[in-house]
Structure 1
Amino acid sequence: MRKAKQNNCTMGRLDGKVIILTAAAQGIGRAAALAFAKEGAKVIATDMNESKLQELNEYAGIQTQVLDVTKKEQIEKFSKEIERLDVLFNVAGFVHHGNILDCEEKDWDFSMNLNVRSMYLMIKAFLPKMLAQKSGNIINMSSVASSIKGTVDTPSLHDRIQARPDPEKAMDDFLKRQKMGRMATAEEVALLCVYLASDESAYITGNDVIIDGGWSL
């Protein structure tokens, strides 16, 4: 039997909280899962990438569940297995490269299903449990692909860069537009998520919280 990695749980800002999050296999989702567990939460990490997701089973406080958040039936079945939760963190997202002329209808449908409809399905499935227990916290992660350019260094970003005709120039362009001269790390975003998941943020509700290295100032 493998011994679970301890993940240095010391501070306990999320002690006793049950947190469900999507897209936990890599990038911001993975960083958030680790940060939540480090602060004492019981983390239920979901993703459709089973092989990458299973790596999180090595860490204390994290259990994994393969889940395709574009599939209503899977979400409803999963929600019935959860007795209670304190935080729902919707992270799953996809940014299609190119403009609308490069985007086929199937690409548009996939993007809307993953970026928008999945949040609706997850919230609809889990909000009743929060209402019944009269407590809960929902965090929705959105993309930087509109007016905000605070780019986060994640595997999905590198995949998009590699799809460009000149990946080296594309990376250079991404860096040049960052006000701080570098990209955000997934771990930096995860620390914000820890705050939003904790009782410390109890008076923050219905707000957009932007982490973009000063781009929007």
Structure 2
Amino acid sequence: LDPNKPAETTLIEINASGNIAALDGQLIVVDQMHASSFLSWETASRSLKERIEDDASAAITLTELAYRAERIDEIIPSVEHAMKIIRAQPIEQRNALRSSLFDVLHDMVREAPGDEAQPEALLTLLEQLGNDRVFVLLRSLGELARTHEQVVAHRMALGAMNERYGRSSEAINAYQDVLDQPELSRAMWEGSGIAVRAGLEASRRIGSIIERAGFSAYDPANTR
């Protein structure tokens, strides 16, 4: 129940069953084998914010929580704060932390053009975030990418988002970047339930854009 709207109820599904105890800001669900805790956004975010100044993992978890809870205005600040903390970590710890945050951001902006099976929740999130914030997330994703597979994932996501917003030439540039670098073209890309060579997927997407928008969409990539 929302205290400000006591007449309205909201059903929130939880992936546990058993005896339920409602405590301050959380639910405890206990069955014969397990005990599960489900925190409200306010309780969980407050707990994490108390730790994020010196705990990079807490900062990453807060970013994911903001995303999962659809706290749209909290997502970008939490990403920026997590990246700031990661940069301050010892070198030997940064790569693992970068990869963790990369995975969280990639989930937010992962989109395959023309994929009718795209999760509705992701499409709703993208609508709520809006163009500008989506591309802020993509810039952060690119900064975090270190492995060939991560760079490919970033370029594919960047291309897909440009397609989403009708920027055909920019999308082709992102895909062409994969084709222009042999190590990226040979890397594997996973999406839409399949795993293929990144170069094959990039070529397929470029071909689809040209079919829709004409060869002129390829002109900027052709003069790079």
**Higher relative CO (CA 8 A, sep ≥ 6), structure 1 or 2?**
1
TM more than 0.5: no
- Answer 1 or 2: which has greater helix percent: 2
TM-score by length of 2: 0.28
TM-score by length of 1: 0.28
Tell which structure's C-alpha radius of gyration is larger: 2
